Amino acid sequence: MSNPFVRIVEPLDPEQPLKKFFNLSKLEDVRYARLPFSIRVLLEAAIRNCDEFLVKKGDVENILNWKVVQHKNVEVPFKPARVILQDFTGVPAVVDFAAMRDAVKKLGGDPEKINPICPADLVIDHSIQVDFNRRSDSLQKNQDLEFERNKERFEFLKWGSQAFKNMRIIPPGSGIIHQVNLEYLARVVMDHDGYYYPDSVVGTDSHTTMIDGLGVLGWGVGGIEAEAVMLGQPISMVLPEVVGYKLLGNPQPLVTSTDIVLTITKHLRQVGVVGKFVEFFGPGVAQLSIADRATIANMCPEYGATAAYFPVDDISIGYLIQTGRDKEKVMCTKKYLEAVGMLRDFKNSSQDPDFTQVVELDLHTVVPCCSGPKRPQDKVAVSDMKKDFETCLGAKQGFKGFQIAPDRHNSVVKFNFEGCDFELSHGSVVIAAITSCTNTSNPSVMLGAGLLAKKAVEAGLTVKPYIKTSLSPGSGVVTYYLRESGVMSYLSQLGFDVVGYGCMTCIGNSGPLPESVVEAITQGDLVAVGVLSGNRNFEGRVHPNTRANYLASPPLVIAYAIAGTIRIDFEKEPLGINASGRKIFLKDIWPTRNEIQAVERQFVIPGMFKEVYQKIETVNESWNALDAPSDKLYTWNPKSTYIKSPPFFDGLTLALQTPKTIEDAYVLLSFGDSVTTDHISPAGNIARNSPAARYLTSRGLTPREFNSYGSRRGNDAVMARGTFANIRLVNKFIDKQGPQTVHFPSGETLDVFDAAERYKQAGHSLIVLAGKEYGAGSSRDWAAKGPFLLGVKAVLAESYERIHRSNLVGMGVIPLQYLPGEDAGTLGLTGRERYTIIIPEKLKPQMNVQIKLDTGKTFHAIMRFDTDVELTYFHNGGILNYMIRKMAS
């Protein structure tokens, strides 16, 4: 069937008749002009792909009727233009593709049908760790060690780039996926197959939303869903509500984009935007650079929304020129956006569309702040940091409490480091990291940090040598302008040498602390602190020995490093005393906005971006020298501890099996609120006493060779053992933090994996109980794959974060949700009962199902399959099984 909307196709330029576009302004429909700009992107994709196989005409009508149907769980398909991946999620995706090729071949199909249809870019940024710092050769030594540890993974990815069409690998050492996307990969408008259309992207990383700041609609999905998209399957989504976030006024001179995003994060968590789009508008948006907008969009997962969209305006067009994009293509981009009514003027209120709800923020009310000590939404004004931390020390164990006895609040532990004596106490800073695409993509905060470092050094201030300082930019462009502007040497003098181009400390690749520091922390049971310019600070994520972690702007990271403690009031107490005995306060060295802007105008220029990115795919000699097999089917090495054929497709047949009632399931774990994907499937170091460590040791590896959980995601045997292995896990069955649970048949307390194995061997099904926001944080699909391999059939929670619920669906694990007003407490559930979940023969989206307990109690819960497509995946045992059957038949 041909596209019924061909009537609105026309050439963008009469002199280039072959370059066409769907001119949405010719719809002659008043509804279009009132649609949020983010919904217009969904509409264009639906119209362009409208045929009986992919998108139906009724789907287009539903999107046009957004204002009427937004609250009615209306399902619409969306086919994004591109997919991006990073290596922690990319390796398991390529492993799945390799295994899917094997499965399709076994079922009699053509294995090469398993191949990306849309462009897929995989950026290797998650593997490098801060093993070396505070030395001029830190970068080279960290990169060498990265290759030594990950050579097998990198060879596998190189095989993938050759075996699969449309898959490009950006080698290690190039930068962070979202910054590379912002500065280089993003098109804003696609020019493909003779058509212009809006760029859009999904990525296997929750912070894919960063690109929304440039006007490219994008969000994070699980690796499982991304694999289906790459194979041509549109995303099935409920048409979202769109919250309009109106920005007014101008930021104060000392306020950074970091302060703004932390303020917005707390605000939107209070508003409640899970599963919704947020679209920014108002005259205040025009005061923000694209880097500022990208910072705000980056932390979209932290405030819980699906997307955080800034429509394209003239500042966006200027950014494309600044970052070295082709000027002729940029002009075509602007012409297309004007033609379809998608170029925004934020000062023109007549362009403001309809929104589900409008909330406001006056930028002038934002003050310098941090967030912590355990969650990104827990914003604290810098002026209150000392008092807030000291309150947290004694407060009950929780998001804002460490439950330290009052008589130990001022404990001090002496230790020796490199021949000198030092002291640590509660609040001592032991990690200070300028890291993450959230902030290193923003020249204003990076140059602000550099200018602050310059003034600090000139004032005679230093950073204590035991503090683990590091600078890990999101692209080589950052180092380029820091060096050219003359501030790099001052950063180095304070210990902030470049240690690598990757996510590093932000994702827990912070590397080891000095042994004497760890011993002092342990001896005093101290609440040591990490300060980082990242986007997440969940317990156990940054480093096992930093129980408090604060998100802060790059200049504040340096300030707290110089102070050496979080227990400082910058307004009243000096950062330090120099050799002349002069007290130096933060206000003495904080650069003005005018200083920063002057340096930025002079040194952040298009030539830098062109020079860095024109050689990005070839500059890494170690990558170029890697050998990779050329076969279309991967030859699995049974001795490998990195790459292993997963068991997901074992015994798969073309015939569907009817879903069965889950009978007499035990509860593996019982949680409270805000259990993150870091709790479920940690990415950081592998503890030496863990089931994963025992497995790797049995394979002949030493602890030095363990690497991280994130690097082992291509091996299901490691990842199953790493599921629920976070050392800060709080399980209601256990009276202390740790990755353990009770095996109820025996009454023994065991590591979670060992307990699950016992249940599995006895033929028992398992479920998990949880509170609100289950699955918050990273998009990692192993947070669903791992529980699936442990035998978890369902999760019963009060609410879910969007990506994790989708991942559970993708693995065939049932996401159940308590009815409104009910939870484990109101129902009197202890988790020690056995649960029978009745699965009816005929299922429909979001239906109620009956749950019976062995105590005789019965209640109902919502089965959170939100669309008919998700039910199809469930009937197939998951989305990948569905795709294999589809390809094989």
pLDDT tens-digit readout, 407-444: 999 999 999 999 999 999 999 999 999 999 999 999 99
Query: Are 45 and 79 contacting, i.e. CB atoms less than 8 angstroms apart?
Result: yes
- Two tokens, residue 13: 């330029």
Amino acid at 371: S
> pLDDT class for 777, splitting at 50, 70, 90?
confident
Would the pLDDT of 334 be above 90? yes
- Two tokens, residue 301: 């997962």
Q: Where are the beta strands (DSSP E) in 282-356?
A: 307-309
- Two tokens, residue 628: 């990779």
Task: Work out the widest C-alpha separation in the chain, in whole angstroms.
Answer: 82
Mean pLDDT of the 217-234 span? 91
Mean pLDDT of the 60-88 span? 92
> What gap in Å lies between CA 404 and CA 397, rounded to an integer?
9
Q: What is the pLDDT of residue 26?
A: 87
Amino acid at 664: D
Which string of b and e fits 548-575 if b means at least 16 CB within 10 Å? bbbbbbbbbbbbbbbbbbbbbebeeebb
> What gap in Å lies between CA 276 and CA 209, rounded to an integer?
13
Query: Are 874 and 784 contacting, i.e. CB atoms less than 8 angstroms apart?
Result: no
Mean pLDDT of the 551-560 span? 98
DSSP string, 561-613: HHH-BS---TTTS-SEE-TT--EE-HHHHPPPHHHHHHHHHHH--HHHHHHHH
> What gap in Å lies between CA 659 and CA 863, rounded to an integer?
13
> What gap in Å lies between CA 741 and CA 733, rounded to an integer?
6
Would the pLDDT of 581 be above 60? yes
- Two tokens, residue 718: 């490691």
> What gap in Å lies between CA 391 and CA 373, rounded to an integer?
11
Q: Which of 122, 59, 130 is nearest to 86 (CA)?
A: 122
Q: What is the pLDDT of residue 803?
A: 85
pLDDT in tens, 53-66: 678 889 999 999 99
Of 22-31, 79-88, 205-214, the one with minimum mean pLDDT is 22-31
pLDDT in tens, 443-462: 999 999 999 999 999 999 99
> What gap in Å lies between CA 612 and CA 614, rounded to an integer?
6
CA distances from 465 to 230, 432, 456, 584 (A): 48, 12, 16, 19
Q: Is 369 helix (H, G, I), strand (E, B) or coil?
A: strand
Would the pLDDT of 130 be above 70? yes
Q: Which of 855, 856, 797, 853 is nearest to 823 (CA)?
A: 797
Would the pLDDT of 39 be above 70? yes
Would the pLDDT of 52 be above 80? no
Paired with 192 in beta bridges are: 195
> pLDDT class for 122, splitting at 50, 70, 90?
very high
In this structure, the number of other CB atoms found within 10 A of the CB of residue 828 comes to 11
Q: CA-based angle 706:709:712, to the nearest 5? A: 75
Q: Is the peptide bond before 739 cis (omega within 30 degrees of 0)?
A: no
DSSP string, 525-554: T---EEEESSS---TTTS-TT-SEEEE--H
202 exposed, middle or buried (CB, 10 Å; 0-12, 13-18, 19+)? buried
Would the pLDDT of 379 be above 70? yes
pTM: predicted TM-score of the whole model, two decimal places = 0.90
Return the DSSP state at 381.
E
Q: Which of 83, 198, 139, 850 is nearest to 470 (CA)?
A: 139
pLDDT in tens, 657-688: 888 999 999 999 999 999 999 999 998 889 99
Q: Is 130 helix (H, G, I), strand (E, B) or coil?
A: coil
> What gap in Å lies between CA 368 and CA 376, rounded to an integer?
15
Would the pLDDT of 1 be above 60? no
Would the pLDDT of 538 be above 90? no
Q: Name, in order, each residue with C-beta under 8 angstroms of 16's C-beta and a sequence gap of 6 or more.
A: none
Q: Which of 185, 183, 64 is nearest to 122 (CA)?
A: 185
Would the pLDDT of 778 be above 80? no
> What gap in Å lies between CA 60 and CA 645, rounded to an integer?
41
Mean pLDDT of the 23-35 span? 89
DSSP string, 744-761: TTTTEEEEHHHHHHHHHH
Q: What is the pLDDT of residue 639?
A: 94
> pLDDT class for 14, splitting at 50, 70, 90?
confident
Q: What is the 3-state secondary structure (H, E, C) of 764-782?
A: CCEEEECCCCECECCCCCH
Query: Are 536 and 503 contacting, i.e. CB atoms less than 8 angstroms apart?
Result: no
Mean pLDDT of the 734-741 span? 94
Mean pLDDT of the 125-144 span? 96
Q: Is 631 helix (H, G, I), strand (E, B) or coil?
A: coil
Would the pLDDT of 774 be above 70? yes
- Two tokens, residue 627: 């050998």
Q: What is the residue-averaged pLDDT of the chain?
A: 95
pLDDT in tens, 381-401: 999 999 999 999 999 999 999
Would the pLDDT of 72 be above 90? no
> What gap in Å lies between CA 129 and CA 504, rounded to an integer?
5
H or E stretch at 484 = helix 476-484
Q: Name, in order, each residue with C-beta under 8 angstroms of 639's C-beta and a sequence gap of 6 or more.
A: none
Query: Are 339 and 312 contacting, i.e. CB atoms less than 8 angstroms apart?
Result: no
